[in-house]
Every structure is written in C-alpha cells, then in structure tokens.
C-alpha cells in the first residue's frame, strides 16, 4: 500500500521565481491538504482540496494556489517567491468526512529554499 508521496524532495529557487510542488495521496484517500512548516514551528494550514475544488483555505496570500486532479493528486503553486517562503511544504492525505473526524497522514515533504 503506497503511502503519501511528494516531489521534489528539495528545491532551491531565487526570489521572484515560481515553484510547483506535487503530491499523490495514500491509496484510497480522496482529500489533500497542504501545510507549510517553518523551522521550529508547527505546520501551518495552507488549503485543502476535495473533488478538485478548494474546500478550505488558511491565512496565506493569493500567491499560493493549488489544484487537484481527477486521480486525487494535487499541486501547490507559489508565485513571486519571497525569502520567507523558505520552509518544509507538507502534503497530508485523508478521507473526506464531515464533522472534522479525519486522520491526516503526511508525505515526506518538500524542502524549499529561496535565495
């Protein structure tokens, strides 16, 4: 049973550039959430996708956008990169459930460094 996969593992970009991160959820899961984790902090929720629609969004600017494909995989796009966007980007996979009782499983993450 394949777990959550993310690519690439590491990425180095310069300020102003754009980046695309990819995620494939765990087999049987239909919901993908994205989180940003800065050094020494807990993960911060960016947004969540289900049925190819953004269902919930955290406090992140419009530079952060996403997409979910029919096979449930997802992309996170960040435009006009800033130094402060340097972080570990985590994808979490889950089943869509009402009431908030969903266990989310994380992928290995993508380490983004902005120079």
* Minimum distance of other proteins from residue 95's CB (angstroms): 10
* Minimum distance of other proteins from residue 99's CB (angstroms): 6
Q: Helix, strand, coil proportions of the chain in percent (round to 5)?
A: 5, 50, 45
* Minimum distance of other proteins from residue 23's CB (angstroms): 12
* 6: its two tokens: 């993310």
Q: For other proteins, which is the closer residue by CB, 40 or 70?
A: 40
Q: For other proteins, which is the closer residue by CB, 28 or 80?
A: 28
Helix/strand/coil for 5: strand
Q: Identify which of 56, 4, 50, 12 has the alpha carbon closest to the alpha carbon of residue 31.
A: 50
Q: For other proteins, which is the closer residue by CB, 17 or 41?
A: 41
Q: For other proteins, which is the closer residue by CB, 86 or 106?
A: 106
- In whole angstroms, give the CA distance from residue 60 to residue 20: 16
Contacts with other proteins by CB under 8 A lie at 31, 33, 35, 40-45, 48, 55-56, 58, 88, 90, 92, 94, 96-97, 99-109
Place of tokens 């590491």: 10
Cβ–Cβ under 8 Å, residues 77 and 20: yes
* Minimum distance of other proteins from residue 32's CB (angstroms): 11
């Amino acid at each position: 049973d394949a777990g959550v996969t993310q690519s690439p593992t590491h990425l180095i970009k310069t300020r102003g550039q754009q980046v695309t991160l990819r995620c494939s959820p765990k087999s049987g899961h239909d919901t993908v959430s994205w989180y940003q984790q800065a050094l020494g902090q807990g993960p911060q929720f960016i947004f969540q996708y289900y049925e190819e629609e953004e269902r919930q969004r955290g406090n992140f600017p419009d530079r952060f956008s996403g997409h979910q494909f029919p096979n449930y995989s997802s992309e996170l796009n960040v435009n006009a990169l800033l130094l402060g966007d340097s972080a570990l980007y985590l994808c979490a996979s889950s089943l869509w459930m009402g009431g908030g009782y969903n266990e989310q499983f994380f992928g290995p993450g993508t380490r983004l460094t902005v120079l």
